[in-house]
Every structure is written in C-alpha cells, then in structure tokens.
Amino acid sequence: MGSKAISVNDSMQVKVVGIFAGFVAGTLVAAVVAIFMYRDETPHLTAEAYAAAAARWDRQEIDSYDLEVALSGQRSDRIRINVRDGVPVSLSINGQPIPNVRVWETWTVDGQFAFIGEDIDLLDGVDTSRNLRVWAEFDAEKGFPRRYRRIEAAQPETGWRLVSFKVVEPGRSSN
C-alpha cells in the first residue's frame, strides 16, 4: 500500500510539472509571436537623420501638396491637409473641416519638422528627467516624415504615420 501512495504522488508531481512546463512554453511562444506581430521597426530619432531628411525636403522645393496622416496613441484620428504655394489652405480631421487656421501649420511638412526638431533639442539637452524616447522615419527620396513616435515619462504615447502624400502642380486644386 505504501508503494501505491508513492506512485500516486509521483504521478501527481509529473502532471503538475507537465502542466507548468506547458504553461511556460505557451507563454514564451505567445510572447515571441506578439513581439514579431507588434514590433515597430521605426528607427530611433537622431539629429543626423533629422538634419539629412530636412535637407532632402528643402532641396525638393515642393510647395503644393496634399498629405494625410493617421495619429496613434490616445487619438486615432486621420488628418488631411492641403498646402498650396507653401501655405496651408485646408485641414480636416476624420473628414470634418477644421476652421481654426492656427492649427493648420502644425500638420504641414515644415510644421512636422518643427515639431520633431523640438524633440531633437530635448534629446540633445542635459535634462534626462523627462525620459523621452523618440522614433522617426523619413522618406528616402523627398525627406518628409513617414512615421513619428514619442514616449515621455508620465505622458501617453503619441505619434503619426503617413497615409498618403501627393505633390500637386502649382495652380491646381486637390481632387
């Protein structure tokens, strides 16, 4: 009878160890899958990458364009802006026109560069208490921002990705 108790006990231990090992293996597989599915390959922002992209953009001399970005983080809006001869002429959020022209400049390519440039200044500063991390990807040919993401301590993550960018011939309206 004593040997049966040991055998039952051993059998229970094997089952518990097996269940635990299966749980650990399943968790690891799920973690690896999640990392590959949700990883962001956007490179960390550097002053050099920013300066090179801004120089490419300036060389293009593109003054008329339509662009759309998708926000990420706390907001998931779509912002569309039309720029003609270097001046923003309309902006909509989720298809709704925004009459407040003061916010329009922020979403032009030059406005996006200004915004990102402020983060470059913060990254180059000596104040590390903000715990700021920034990623950005720029168009290889024209230089405009394609992706931007920032995380700052105690602040929600924010960012955007380019949905579309279309150069418009001077004097033509958008479609």
Q: Tell me the per-residue pLDDT of 100-145, one tens digit each, with 9 for 90 and over.
A: 888 899 999 999 999 999 998 888 875 666 688 899 999 999 999 9
Question: Distance between CA atoms of 28 and 36, rounded to whole angstroms?
Answer: 13
Q: What is the mean pLDDT of residues 70-88?
A: 94
Is 0.75 topped by the overall pTM? no
Question: Distance between CA atoms of 88 and 105, rounded to whole angstroms?
Answer: 6
Phi, psi (degrees; rounded to nearest 5) at 172: -105, 150
The candidate with the shortest Cα–Cα distance to 69, out of 109, 116, 101, 38, is 109
CA distances to 62, 74, 101, 115, 149 from 87, rounded to whole Å, are 11, 29, 11, 17, 26
- In which residue are the tokens 């300066």 written? 51
CA distances to 28, 35, 51, 115, 138 from 31, rounded to whole Å, are 5, 6, 36, 34, 30
Note the pLDDT of residue 6. 56
